[in-house]
Amino acid sequence: MHKAAFGLKRFGAASQIIAKNHFQHSARAATISIASSEESTFKNGLIKAFLLTSALVLAGATTTGANCESSDAAPKKEEQQPTAWGSRDQLQTGIKLFTGNANRPLAQDIANHLGMNLGKINVSHFADGEVNVMVNENVRGKDVYIVQPTSPPVNETLMELLLMISTMRRASARKITAIIPYYGYARQDRKMQARVPISAADVARLLEAMGVDRVVAVDLHCGQIQGFFGPRVPVDNLDGGTVGVSYFGDMDLINPVIVSPDAGGVYRAKQFREALTKKHEVDCGLAMIIKQRAKANEIERMDLVGSVQGCDAIIVDDMVDTAGTLCKAAEVLKEFGARRVFAFASHGVLSGPAASRIANSVLTELVVLDTIPLSEACVATGKITQLSVGPLLAQAIYNIHNKKSISALFK
């Protein structure tokens, strides 16, 4: 009834046009043209047109006549445009956030910034060390984000990540994004000698084989790692230096100089310097240390390119492992007249004797992100400050889910 009533209103004007044509045809055929006859013919034609239009509407027919909609017709309902996560309920129906055992505090921080809860999942180990994954909620048709840095123990956390991705794929998740704040095996990104693997590329192959759709990382050791993934798996390499820039920008620094610990990190140091100058109007210098390695994790000698005399030096690197290179670089800077020596690294691996080396070094402060949890020994040094990368990763997830720009986060 509602459809028929709407159709009658819509085609009311069309009925009048049809009736008028019928009237004109009748008038030409009539032998007597008097006013009463014309009026009678018009009424009959109008009734016929009215009945014809009603039959067409009830039969589901449509018409394309222009300007035939009456002014009191019901307005056409606009399609509801997709919006940003306007409510918590809307967010939780379309997205799921899970984590393994590598860095649960970071995952919880991301969830808090997104205003949602972590997904229900059990990642445990059997007596023989095998990883067991069980997802305890429905993920069919959902966009799943898995937060799992492949930090020490690297092989264990990597296997957890691979099996979580495989589990989500077999559970019919619509899209799987791996949030890997720290990408393990990143330093093995090329063949330095014969008969060695390119492990960073092999890890990328494993992730693709499990069915990952997208990867988000923070400060990859080398940007070329993004190319180890195929074109169907886009990789977003977030700049963790923006978090460090905000921290050092609020400090009272005297003639700061940004120092790259090697030639490969000059671009990273330059970006850090430009961001510090642009956002906090801090005039910074730039210097570089050239190091000669005797073997892995062992430095033979270091030379300084640039001046740090009477300046606050900030060593900027992507990671700190055993801290041997970092502590020796700090000593070199002190020998060349640096006033204070700070260090910033996105990933504080801090394995082996790192804690004791930093505690006994000339470093004033080491600032790292929470991509990798700090050990109790590192916290006890009193020289290590950890900043949260959770807000940056949460914003990245938000932008990806809402099809917004990632590069806009760093402008």
> Active-site residues: which are they?
291
DSSP state of 133: E
60: burial class by Cβ within 10 Å (0-12, 13-18, 19+)? exposed
CB atoms under 10 Å from CB of 14, counted, come to 18
Torsion, Cα 354 357 361 363, to 10 degrees, reads 10
Strand 312-320 relative to strand 257-260, pairing: parallel
SS (H, E, C) 336-376: CCCCEEEEEEEEECCCCCHHHHHHCCCCCEEEEEECCCCCH
Tokens of 339: 């006033």
Residues whose CB is less than 8 angstroms from the CB of residue 248 and which lie 6 or more positions away in sequence, other chains included: 256, 276, 314, 342, 344, 367
CB atoms under 10 Å from CB of 257, counted, come to 24
Angle at 393 between CA 388 and CA 348, to 5 degrees: 45
- For residues 258 and 282, the answer to whether their CB atoms sit within 8 Å is no
CB atoms under 10 Å from CB of 56, counted, come to 15
- For residues 148 and 157, the answer to whether their CB atoms sit within 8 Å is yes
Strands (E), 103-194: 121-125, 131-135, 143-147, 175-180
- For residues 273 and 284, the answer to whether their CB atoms sit within 8 Å is yes
Which residue shows structure tokens 């063949």? 191
